[in-house]
Structure 1
Amino acid sequence: MSTPGALHGLKVLELGTLIAGPFCTRLLAEFGAEVIKIESPEGDPIRQWRVLHEGNSLWWSVQSRNKKSVAVNMKDARGRDLVRRLALEADVIVENYRPGVLEKWGLGPAELIRERPSLVFVRLSGYGQTGPMKDLPGFGAVGESMGGMRYVSGHPDRPPVRIGISIGDSLAALHGAFGAMVALRHRDATGGKACGQGQVVDVALYEAVFNMMESLVPEYDLAGVVRERTGGALPGIVPSNTYTCGDGANVVIAGNGDAIFKRLMLAMGRDDLAHDAGLATNDGRVPRTAEIDAAIGAWTVARGIDEVLTTLKAADVPVSKIYSVADMFADPQFLARRMIEQHRLADGTPIKLPAVTPKLSVTPGGTQWLGPRLGEHTRDVLGALGLSEGEMGTLFAEGVVVEKPAPG
Structure 2
Amino acid sequence: MSLDKLAPTTPLSDLKVLELGQLIAGPYCGQILADFGANVIKIEPPGKGDSMRQWGEVDADGEPVWWNVIGRNKQSVTLNLREPQGQAILRSLASQADILIENFRPGTMERWGLGYDVLSRNNPGLIMVRVTGFGQDGPYSDRTGFASVCEAMGGLRYISGYPDRPPVRVGISIGDTLAGIHGAIGALVALHQREKSGEGQVVDSAIFESVLGVMESLVPDYDRAGKIRERNGGFLPGIAPSNAYPARDNRDVIIGANQDSVFRRLCAAMGQPTLADHPDYATHRARGANQQAIDDAVAAWTRQHDAQEIVDRLAEAGVPAGLIFRAPDMLADPHFNARKSIVMVPDRKGKPLPMQNVFPRLTKTPGTIRHAGPQLGEHTNEVLKGWLDMNDAQLDTLRNSSII
Scaled by the length of structure 2, the TM-score of the pair is 0.96
Specify every segment of 5 or more residues in structure 2 that has no aligned partner in the other structure, as ranges: none
Matched-pair identity in %: 48
The residue number in structure 2 matching 1:10 is 15
Contact preservation (8 Å) 2:343, 2:354: yes
Query: Please, which moves more after superposition, 271-280 or 388-397?
Result: 271-280
Where do residues 187-202 of structure 1 align in structure 2 (5 Å cutoff)? 187-190=194-197, 196-202=198-204
Find the aligned partners of 1:20 and 1:306 in 2 and give their Cα distance: 37
The residue number in structure 2 matching 1:26 is 31
2:139 counterpart (132, 147, 150) = 132
1:234 counterpart (220, 233, 236) = 236
**Are 2:83 and 1:76 equivalent residues in the alignment?**
yes
Q: Deviations over 1:334-369 (max 9, x none)?
A: 011011211222323221121111111111101111
The residue number in structure 2 matching 1:43 is 49
Find the aligned partners of 1:112 and 1:354 in 2 and give their Cα distance: 35
Amino acid across the alignment from 1:261: F
Displacement, 1:278? 3.8
Find the aligned partners of 1:347 and 1:185 in 2 and give their Cα distance: 39
Find the aligned partners of 1:398 and 1:55 in 2 and give their Cα distance: 31
Find the aligned partners of 1:345 and 1:259 in 2 and give their Cα distance: 48
Where do residues 264-343 of structure 1 align in structure 2 (5 Å cutoff)? 264-343=266-345
Displacement, 1:274? 1.8
**Are 2:124 and 1:122 equivalent residues in the alignment?**
no
Displacement, 1:283? 1.0
Displacement, 1:251? 1.1
Contact preservation (8 Å) 2:12, 2:38: yes
Specify every segment of 5 or more residues in structure 1 that has no aligned partner in the other structure, as ranges: 191-195, 402-408
Contact preservation (8 Å) 2:348, 2:373: no
What SS is found at the alignment partner of 2:302? helix
Displacement, 1:387? 1.1
Where do residues 318-397 of structure 1 align in structure 2 (5 Å cutoff)? 318-384=320-386, 385-397=388-400
Find the aligned partners of 1:178 and 1:389 in 2 and give their Cα distance: 38
Q: Deviations over 1:1-56 (max 9, x none)?
A: 43220001100000110100000010000111000010001110110111123343
Displacement, 1:77? 1.1
Where do residues 91-240 of structure 1 align in structure 2 (5 Å cutoff)? 91-190=98-197, 196-240=198-242
Query: Please, which moves more after superposition, 197-206 or 344-353?
Result: 344-353
Amino acid across the alignment from 2:296: A
Query: Please, which moves more after superposition, 68-77 or 98-107?
Result: 68-77
Displacement, 1:145? 0.6
Q: Deviations over 1:98-155 (max 9, x none)?
A: 0000000010112212331111111000000000000000111111111001111111
Contact preservation (8 Å) 1:240, 1:252: yes
Amino acid across the alignment from 2:74: K
Find the aligned partners of 1:52 and 1:79 in 2 and give their Cα distance: 32
Find the aligned partners of 1:366 and 1:181 in 2 and give their Cα distance: 18
Find the aligned partners of 1:344 and 1:118 in 2 and give their Cα distance: 36
Amino acid across the alignment from 1:52: V
Find the aligned partners of 2:347 and 2:206 in 1 and give their Cα distance: 34
Q: Deviations over 1:59-86 (max 9, x none)?
A: 1111011101001112221111111111
Displacement, 1:156? 1.1
Contact preservation (8 Å) 2:160, 2:169: yes
Amino acid across the alignment from 1:47: R
The residue number in structure 2 matching 1:193 is none
Contact preservation (8 Å) 2:68, 2:373: yes
Residues matched between the structures, number: 396
Q: Deviations over 1:173-220 (max 9, x none)?
A: 000000000000000112xxxxx1111110110000000000111110
Contact preservation (8 Å) 1:48, 1:55: no
Q: Deviations over 1:348-394 (max 9, x none)?
A: 32211211111111111011111000000000011011112111111
Displacement, 1:238? 1.4
What SS is found at the alignment partner of 2:299? helix
Contact preservation (8 Å) 1:244, 1:301: yes
Find the aligned partners of 2:236 and 2:377 in 1 and give their Cα distance: 47
Scaled by the length of structure 1, the TM-score of the pair is 0.95
Find the aligned partners of 1:241 and 1:388 in 2 and give their Cα distance: 63
Query: Please, which moves more after superposition, 111-120 or 152-161?
Result: 111-120
What SS is found at the alignment partner of 2:134? coil
What SS is found at the alignment partner of 1:277? coil
